[in-house]
Structure 1
Amino acid sequence: MHGVIRTDEWLLEDYKQPIQLAKRVKDYFPNAEAEEIFAHLTKFGMTRSAISKVRVQQMLKADLWDITSMDYKELQHQWNGPETPIFIFPSDAANYRLHKEFNGKAGLTFKDKAFLFLSESNTKMEIKALLTHEYNHVCRLEKCNKPEKQYTLLDTIILEGMAEYAVFKRLGEEHTASYIGKYKDEVLHHFWTKYLLPEKGLQVNTNKYYRLLYGSHFYPKMLGYCVGEYLVRTYANKHGLSLKELFVVKSEDIAETKTVAPRD
């Protein structure tokens, strides 16, 4: 079963017990228990607690599933992307940062599936922006053909930067994440050479990897994401590459271009 899964039908039954949602997707995680899946999904923005039936009905009224389904088909066609299951679950209404900085939406992507955590108040363009970002990850992970376990800090910042560059190119700068455009390109170039280039080979699951990626512990906020978008945009502008053509370019090649290029 691929494409946008009708999780609205699940929610009508499981809205009082979000753990049941994790049990329903267990077949997509062959080596994990429902409790582990639930912990992982909630860590990235899914609701941790029961929601009201009213909220489920508001999500249905907002056409979240139909909007996502139509845009998924368009993206798949544009990018010649893989058939991928897309799951829509309610976002965590109690997560202050999620609502303040991301207007109650978040995503989580694996090579063979993607999750969108949405609020009933998300607009059509917000939904399209989130799907563009997450499905761009799916295409990059598939077409770049590098095992996720071998991903370095450089691979991740390019992955995230490519996804936000896709949102920018497809929907316009006003629909990119709030942190994109936060720093001037000259500053991003400085951040790249000072903080990230020396650590580009860092492996996942080290403390410094996450500090640099998200910009915590005195590093500039959302450091890896912002520099990643700068590197991808600079490379794409210099070589005249489309979003689809970027998928197969190695992270090391994209990062070699360090000249400043304005947003077009």
Structure 2
Amino acid sequence: MRVIRTDKWLLDAYDQPLELCEKLKHLFDEDVSAGEIHQHLIVHGMYREPLKNGDELIKELQKRRIWQIVQQEAKELQKEWNGPVIPIFILPADTNNRKLRHEQNGKSGLSFPDKLFLFVSEMNTEKEIRALLTHEYNHICRLSKYSKKEAEYTLLDTVILEGLAENAVRERFGDQYTAQWTAYYSNTQLERICMNLILPNRNTPKSGRKHAQLLYGFGFFPKMAGYCAGYHLVKNYMSKENVPSQDLLGVKSEQIIEKTDEA
């Protein structure tokens, strides 16, 4: 695993995020600009505008050895899950984003099949950052082991993807380090969400508008409906089959639902 020393990049060009994104261009399609990369990362949690104390933040994260901690945790996860070796980039989160602060404690992540981004802030503890890495790297392992192209994912595939990742966090760090959304609904409410919303729309393609609506709970749908349903479905499967989340990385999404329906 390679944790890129973005702290050195940031100390040189924290106030020039486009310059930082120029360093990432070789990881994306040739026709993608640094500006487009920056905008995409912003959507997923990267800082939008430099803060006055930006250098102090980077030095504080260095003092706390965040790059080394992520390197060690990533190495352990890669070995435990037999996952791919990918580059990991740590960048400051957008602490001016109220939703990010309140719902995710000022942290976020973004996974691609061949790279991973962690967006963190001074408010995050070491365990929170390790839990964030666990969630995001679990996505990469699922993408590499599940015999289906990501472009062909349906709502069910995405829901199970998210459910697997957060159950991996629960296994490694306990309920207290899982995302807030895992406690939004009771089991009865989750069963209704699964049966009335997620399963009837399980084949909705990733490109479809309804996919995002159900996954995040936009409009009149329950908040984070797909995420919560995925966590519930995977957790139930793990309990009934007495298996760890690691054993499910290559299991078909439909199989998890079939086992759930048998109960």
User: Quick check: 2:168–2:246 contact (8 Å CA) kept in 1?
Assistant: no
| CA distance 1:5–1:122, change in 2 (3 Å) | same
Aligned-residue sequence identity (percent) comes to 47
Aligned to 2:40: 40
Deviation at 1:96, TM superposition (A): 0.7
Aligned to 1:24: 23
| CA distance 1:89–1:260, change in 2 (3 Å) | farther
Query: Aligned AA for 1:86?
Result: I
Query: Aligned AA for 1:217?
Result: G
Query: Aligned AA for 2:11?
Result: L
Deviation at 1:182, TM superposition (A): 2.2
Aligned to 2:164: 162
Alignment of 1:80-119 (within 5 A): 80-119=82-121
Alpha-carbon distance between aligned partners in 1 of 2:20 and 2:241, rounded to the nearest angstrom: 44
Q: How many residues align?
A: 260
User: Quick check: 1:202–1:209 contact (8 Å CA) kept in 2?
Assistant: yes
Alpha-carbon distance between aligned partners in 1 of 2:147 and 2:92, rounded to the nearest angstrom: 31
Say which SS state the counterpart of residue 219 (structure 2) adopts. coil
Deviation at 1:260, TM superposition (A): 10
TM-score, normalised to structure 1, is 0.94
Matched, 1:10 2:9: yes
Deviation at 1:194, TM superposition (A): 0.3
Say which SS state the counterpart of residue 181 (structure 2) adopts. coil
Q: Which structure 1 residue ranges, 4+ long, deviate > 2 Å from structure 2?
A: 257-261
Alpha-carbon distance between aligned partners in 2 of 1:170 and 1:249, rounded to the nearest angstrom: 20
Alpha-carbon distance between aligned partners in 2 of 1:21 and 1:172, rounded to the nearest angstrom: 35
Say which SS state the counterpart of residue 86 (structure 1) adopts. strand
Q: RMSD across aligned C-alpha pairs, in angstroms?
A: 1.5
Aligned to 1:211: 213
User: Quick check: 1:234–1:260 contact (8 Å CA) kept in 2?
Assistant: no
User: Quick check: 2:160–2:234 contact (8 Å CA) kept in 1?
Assistant: yes
Query: Aligned AA for 1:258?
Result: T
| CA distance 1:64–1:136, change in 2 (3 Å) | same
Alpha-carbon distance between aligned partners in 2 of 1:260 and 1:144, rounded to the nearest angstrom: 23
Gaps of 5+ in 2: none
TM-score, normalised to structure 2, is 0.95
Aligned to 1:183: 185
Aligned to 1:221: 223
Gaps of 5+ in 1: none
Which has the higher mean CA deviation after the structures are superposed, 204-213 or 127-136? 204-213
Alpha-carbon distance between aligned partners in 2 of 1:72 and 1:29, rounded to the nearest angstrom: 22
Deviation at 1:165, TM superposition (A): 0.5
| CA distance 1:172–1:161, change in 2 (3 Å) | same
Deviation at 1:185, TM superposition (A): 1.9
Query: Aligned AA for 1:211?
Result: Q
| CA distance 1:4–1:86, change in 2 (3 Å) | same
Aligned to 1:241: 243
Query: Aligned AA for 2:35?
Result: E
1:189-219 CA deviation, whole Å, 9 max, x = no partner? 1111101111111112332211100112121
